[in-house]
Chain A
Amino acid sequence: MRALAILIVILAILIGVLPQFFNCQYDGKGLVLADGRQVPMKCYWTARASLAVAILLLALGLLLAFSRQQETRRALAFLGAIAGILVILLPTWLIGVCQHPGASCNLVMKPALILMGILVVVASVAGLVLSSRRPEPTA
């Protein structure tokens, strides 16, 4: 269980950090409005939102690592799975990324978030299964 929690912590850090460096705003590209102002594109906001989910996931992972109660672990694992689904939905449906297939948000951020989201879900489900087992009888 601790190994799963550590994996979730590592994934949380990656989910928070990676999108900050692979979005069009970081590449110096923004949306130019009619009045000449440049505003960030969707992928920037996806990166911001990922950071938020990552912080939540980090806290969750740390709690899972140190928690001893079966019920608490089950609840945390369930929440972890939900967070993982959110990570997948952020670049695909909730906010999205830029349309251009050659943009770094499309090439790196989106597939990376989807992959890491899947891994978080798998780790959380594994944690859910482990925490649902009958505990060993005490001596």
Chain B
Amino acid sequence: MSPLRLVWKNIAGSAFRSWAVFLCALVVGGLLFSTVLLVRGAEDSLRLVQQRLGADVVVVPEGTGDRVETALLMGQPTKVWMPRQNLDRIGGVAGVAIASPQLYLASLANAPCCTAEMFVMAFDPQTDFTVTPWLNRHLGHNLGLAEAIGGSDVFVPYGEDKIRIYGSEIDLVGSLERTGTGLDTALFLTFDTAYAVADGSYTKAVRPLEIPPDSISAVLVQVEPNVDPRVVALQIAHDVPGVTAIPGSGLFQAFHTQAGLLSRIMAALLGTVSLLSLLLVGLTFSMAVNERRQEIGVLRALGATRRAVLHSLLVEALMLALGGGATGVLLAALVLYLFRNLIVASLMMPFRIPSVPSLLALAAGGLAVALADVALAVLLPALRASNLDPATAMRE
């Protein structure tokens, strides 16, 4: 008869108490894991998008910064225009190494590929540094006419081999990796393809694609080495009227703030749940110790030391906490993984499952908090039980 078997039998012997501790640990572990995962996932997503854009400064028409950020992060198409000549002015600002123009368009709603408008981003292959590096790595060449690459969630409709946009057939030659943002539902094609589609839409589509002449939507800027992007952004805003220049580090500030707010709300929730859990487990264990007074007295009479009684109770609680915490973390991971798209759509926030090492670290953290919560809750009742005078304990 090992002490561990004794513990296991005690766990099995009281369903209510064991389930109470198990479920409290499950909730605490799962909640902590999902809280940190949500916030971390959002931050990871934002970071990935910033990396993907690769821009030190993003220049958009004045006052449209928020709309463009929402388009990039949530995939909600937006049409913003500024004069093409801004490109040359921006290129002439001191410290600018590359200035690459982009066009932001939207596909038709209820196109066969999509149930809603899709964000279409046209780029200049000569100057682009956002998509072109990926193209060179994965395709070995840039996009040709009537070719496009899509975010991870863009697909060719079943039974067809091309995507239709405004009546024109486009070859989907590749898919970018998932970012957990609107870029996953975006389509990337060259300026030439965009203009060709626009020209063809007047005869082929139910509604034409109108691109104002000599207009662009945004300019992505890379600065020269050792130049502060914030200084260049200020200079662009000064030199080029009618634009907003956002340094890369300042991109998506609203979403960073939102992630921070979510983090604080979840932390408050977690704190409350942990405290309630602590109280519930403490109370349940106190009641259990009271019920088992006589039994504990018998065990002491049979030769169990005070320390053995304390260890037995603590191990019992911690085994339940480990089981509950692990189950909570696993359940939380499963739910967040399965419902990741719903999270993005309903929270209006980017979200991406972090890498496996990060996940394991978060899981360990969730488990540790669940264990600590339970250990703290049962310490006092366990100490009281171990210090019971055996003779008094055995008296009814």
B: contact size bracket: 10 to 19
Chain B residues within 8 Å of A100, by CB: 114-115, 155
Closest to B343 in A: A107
CB-CB contacts below 8 Å: A84-130 with B:
98-103, 106-108, 111-112, 114-115, 118
Chain A residues within 8 Å of B157, by CB: 99
Q: B342 interface residue, CB < 8 Å from A?
A: yes
Interface size on A, residues (CB 8 A): 16
Q: Which of A102, A108, A112 has its CB near the most chain B CB atoms (within 10 A)? A: A102
Q: B202 interface residue, CB < 8 Å from A?
A: no
In the assembled complex, how far is the CB of residue B162 from the closest CB belonging to chain A, in whole angstroms? 15
Q: Which of B185, B335, B342 has its CB near the most chain A CB atoms (within 10 A)? A: B342
Q: B376 interface residue, CB < 8 Å from A?
A: no
Q: Produce 1/0 per residue, B156-196, CB < 8 A to A.
A: 01100000000000000000000000001100000000000
Whole-angstrom CA separation of A76 from B113 in the bound complex: 44
Residue of A29, A98, A107, A112 touching B341 (CB-CB under 8 A): A107
Given A99-B158, A102-B345, A111 contacting B339 (CB threshold 8 A): yes
Closest to B345 in A: A107
In the assembled complex, how far is the CB of residue A110 from the closest CB belonging to chain B, in whole angstroms? 8
In the assembled complex, how far is the CB of residue B261 from the closest CB belonging to chain A, in whole angstroms? 24
Chain B residues within 8 Å of A99, by CB: 155, 157-158
Nearest 9 Cβ contacts at the A-B interface: A111-B338, A101-B153, A107-B342, A100-B115, A111-B339, A99-B155, A107-B341, A115-B338, A101-B341
Q: List 13 A-B contacts (CB under 8 A).
A: A99-B158, A100-B114, A100-B115, A100-B155, A101-B184, A103-B115, A107-B342, A108-B339, A108-B342, A111-B339, A112-B338, A115-B334, A115-B335
State the A residues within 8 Å of B (CB): 24, 29, 98-103, 106-108, 111-112, 114-115, 118
